[in-house]
Every structure is written in structure tokens, then in C-alpha cells.
């Protein structure tokens, strides 16, 4: 059986805020689903169920898609804020993965002009 948890840590949580994103990519549900599929592949995870992408928000400042994808070792989620062209992406897993891959792929996929990333090792 494969050891999936990282030593004495519970897991890694990558919090990636992307700014200046391309509105046409972040408002396209299929593009978001395709991104998640590629991200899961690139960070060597196993998706559990389908990617859920839901549009909501009765206030234009928060309106946009929210995405969730369960993975065998935890969860990937994001909110897409159309008004500010920002994406707030979270990847958490007890199986190790490359935070650089997450940031690079998301930035490229949504054409972000800048980003802020926090990596938390959960104990």
C-alpha cells in the first residue's frame, strides 16, 4: 500500500491568489474544469468524483464561479471573482505535491499578471 501522508505532517496547503486574470478564461466553466483535470494530473493526484463549478453571487463584487474537486488525499477549491479579475485557489493534500507546479499552471492557464502564494505545512 502506498504511503500518502508526509512524515509527521498532516499535509500541505497551498493558498494561491491570482490577480489580473483573463476574464474570458475565468468565466468559462469548461475551461475551469479542464484546468482542474490538468492540475490533478500535473500534481499526481487522483480525482474523486466530478469537478463541481457553480456560478453565484447577487453582488457584482463577489459574483463568479466557485469550484470544488475532491481528491483522494483531500481537496482543491477556488473562487473566481469576476469584478476584480482575481482567483483564490486552494490545494490541500496529505500527499506531497509541488506548490510551484500549482502556481505556474494556474498563472499560465488563467493568464494572471501577478500572484501571492502561501504554503502551510499542516501538523
pTM, 2 dp: 0.91
Distance between CA atoms of residues 19 and 21, nearest Å: 5
| Mean pLDDT of all residues in 19-36 | 98
- Tens digits of residue pLDDT in 72-118: 999 999 999 999 999 999 999 999 999 999 999 999 999 999 999 99
Pairing between β-strand 64-71 and β-strand 52-56 as defined by DSSP bridges: antiparallel
Burial of 114 (0-12, 13-18, 19+ CB in 10 A): exposed
Nearest-CA neighbor of 78 among 41, 109, 123?
Answer: 109
Residue 41 sits at φ, ψ, to 5 deg, of -65, -50
Q: What proportion of the chain, given as a percentage, has pLDDT over 90?
A: 83
Does the pLDDT of residue 120 top 80, yes or no? Answer: yes
As separate numbers, helices (DSSP H) first and strands (DSSP E) second, the chain gives 3, 6
- CATH 3.30.300.30 is right for the domain spanning 11-122: no
Amino acid at each position: 500500500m502506498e504511503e500518502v501522508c508526509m512524515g509527521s505532517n498532516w499535509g500541505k496547503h497551498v493558498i494561491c491568489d491570482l490577480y489580473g486574470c483573463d476574464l474570458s478564461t475565468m468565466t468559462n466553466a469548461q475551461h475551469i474544469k479542464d484546468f482542474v483535470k490538468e492540475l490533478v494530473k500535473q500534481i499526481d493526484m487522483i480525482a474523486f468524483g466530478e469537478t463541481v463549478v457553480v456560478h453565484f453571487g447577487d453582488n457584482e463584487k463577489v459574483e463568479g464561479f466557485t469550484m470544488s474537486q475532491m481528491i483522494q488525499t483531500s481537496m482543491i477549491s477556488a473562487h473566481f471573482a469576476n469584478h476584480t479579475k482575481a482567483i483564490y485557489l486552494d490545494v490541500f493534500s496529505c500527499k506531497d505535491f509541488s506548490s510551484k507546479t500549482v502556481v505556474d499552471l494556474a498563472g499560465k492557464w488563467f493568464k494572471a499578471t501577478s500572484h501571492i502564494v502561501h504554503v502551510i505545512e499542516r501538523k
